[in-house]
Amino acid sequence: MNSKFIVWVEENKKIQKLSEEMKHNLLEYIKENITDTKENCEKYILEKWDDTLGNCDNLKFDDKEVISYVIHHFLDRYQRMLLTLYDMYCRKVLPIKRNIYVLDIGTGPANSLFAICDFYKLIREFGNEYNIENYKNINIKIEYVEKSLSFRKWIHKFQEFLIKRNKYYEIPFHKGTFEDFSNISYTISYNHYYRNFRFDLVINSNFFTKANMKDEHNNVYILYRKEIENTIRKIKLNGLFVTLSSINYDFYSDYKKYLKGIKSFRGKDVYKLNEILDVNSNEFKVNTKQTKKELTANLEKYFTEISAILLENYKFSLEPEKKKYLDRKKSHEWKTIIMKKRKVD
Ligand SMILES: C[S@@+](CC[C@H](N)C(=O)[O-])C[C@H]1O[C@@H](n2cnc3c(N)ncnc32)[C@H](O)[C@@H]1O
């Protein structure tokens, strides 16, 4: 089934179409909601430009920064996640089962979650076309952790916008269940009723950055030890812990060593994480590479259109420095690390 799905995706350019559709919707959303006045445009796009692009660790993610972040990063990172999922599928490591429980830590504008929903929609579509039971009946149930209220409001607003265009996503609509990752508890009580969460797929994209991994002397310091261990306890047997991040950090070997050392227990059984993948995006499978080129072109078009919106509406053209940054961004690579929860013999 695996190779038939890949051929179907390739022949019908399914990933490209998803990306183009997301680009279109995002641009429409931006035109309608952000660039309505010159003041808004300056406020949202210019004032936070440098921090959003180069210095995310310093952001507070208030309303202004969120808009700026969405404009600069959403489409790029949505596409990264789509390609990552496709690569995972090609390597036969993507969960395919009836109910898939997903958690995204530090979801931001939920770029990864929109990609997860869209990719599983593709799998269902293929399942329906070829009547494949375990593909057409996949349900995904999503939770995210996000402490910025501005991001949670944005996810709500963007979904409202998409619903009006008949696009539905399984992402929590009413601002999510979990806010701060610090001291997170996955057992939630609603009037004497306890809900206990367990996950098949836990992802974090650009969350465990240097700020969470190094102290002021540049020594390894894992800020959220207790929370990571608690989260890994909630991953099901054979569930995955997936990290997407910049390729430029030097802490990955410590990070992986730390993750591999975590033990969780159920009765007498002991569980640990096994590394199953550590790749840079330029090492993705052949099929993924071809698709990747076209997604890069889609991103280029997006930034050209964003520049055109600015120029047309506000007679504002990007300074050469800022333009250069966007050019570099087009060729950005990222890193994917996947760990699988296994029982220790
Ligand atoms: C660099 S952004 C990454 C957003 C998105 N995952 C992406 O790939 O673009 C980091 C996100 O983590 C959130 N965040 C930071 N600390 C957090 C915490 N303690 N609990 C929950 N969310 C947090 C921020 O608000 C922000 O949305």
Ligand 1, closest atom to CA 145? 21
Spatial distance between the Cα atoms of 48 and 118, rounded to a whole number of angstroms: 30
Domain membership of residue 130 as a residue range: 2-343
Q: For the chain, where are the alpha helices, taking DSSP H only?
A: 2-11, 14-33, 38-41, 49-54, 63-90, 111-130, 133-136, 149-163, 210-213, 225-233, 252-261, 286-314, 320-330
User: Could you give the number of structural domains in the chain?
Assistant: 1
Per-residue model confidence (pLDDT) at position 315:
56
What is the rounded end-to-end Cα distance, in angstroms, of the chain? 31
Q: Are 263 and 336 in contact (CB under 8 A)?
A: no
Determine whether 63 is exposed, middle or buried from the number of CB atoms within 10 Å of its CB (0-12, 13-18, 19+).
Answer: middle
Spatial distance between the Cα atoms of 68 and 51, rounded to a whole number of angstroms: 9
Q: Give the up-direction half-sphere exposure of residue 270: CA atoms within 13 A in the CB hemisphere.
A: 7
Spatial distance between the Cα atoms of 132 and 94, rounded to a whole number of angstroms: 17
How remote is the CA of residue 147 from the centroid of ligand 1, in Å? 7
Q: Which pTM value belongs to this model?
A: 0.93
Ligand 1, closest atom to CA 151? 27
For atom 26 of ligand 1, which residue has the closest CA?
Answer: 108
Closest by CA position to 273, among listed 211, 198, 224, 337 = 337
How remote is the CA of residue 78 from the centroid of ligand 1, in Å? 15
Ligand 1, closest atom to CA 180? 20
Closest by CA position to 102, among listed 89, 83, 79, 120 = 120
Per-residue model confidence (pLDDT) at position 37:
62
DSSP 239-288: EEEEEEEETT-S-HHHHHHHHHH--EEETTEEEEEEEEEEEEGGGS-HHH
Q: pLDDT averaged over consecutive 10-residue blocks of the chain (345 residues)?
A: 91 96 95 68 64 68 80 92 95 96 97 98 98 96 95 96 96 90 89 85 89 71 89 97 89 91 92 96 82 89 82 61 56 88 94
- Hey, is 33 helix, strand or coil? helix
For atom 4 of ligand 1, which residue has the closest CA?
Answer: 108
Spatial distance between the Cα atoms of 37 and 35, rounded to a whole number of angstroms: 6
What H or E segment, with its residue span, contains residue 334? strand 334-343
How far does CA 31 lie from the centroid of its chain? 23
CATH number of residue 35's parent domain? 3.40.50.150
What phi and psi values does residue 78 have, to the nearest 5 degrees? -60, -45
For atom 14 of ligand 1, which residue has the closest CA?
Answer: 106
Per-residue model confidence (pLDDT) at position 329:
56
Closest by CA position to 83, among listed 306, 329, 300, 283 = 283
Give residues (CB < 6 A) around ligand 1: 56, 61, 73, 77, 106-108, 111-112, 145-148, 151, 180-182, 205-207
Per-residue model confidence (pLDDT) at position 303:
84
How remote is the CA of residue 177 from the centroid of ligand 1, in Å? 15
Whole-angstrom CA distances from 341 to 52, 72, 181, 215, 237 are: 34, 34, 21, 28, 6
Strand partners, 273: 341
How remote is the CA of residue 234 from the centroid of ligand 1, in Å? 20
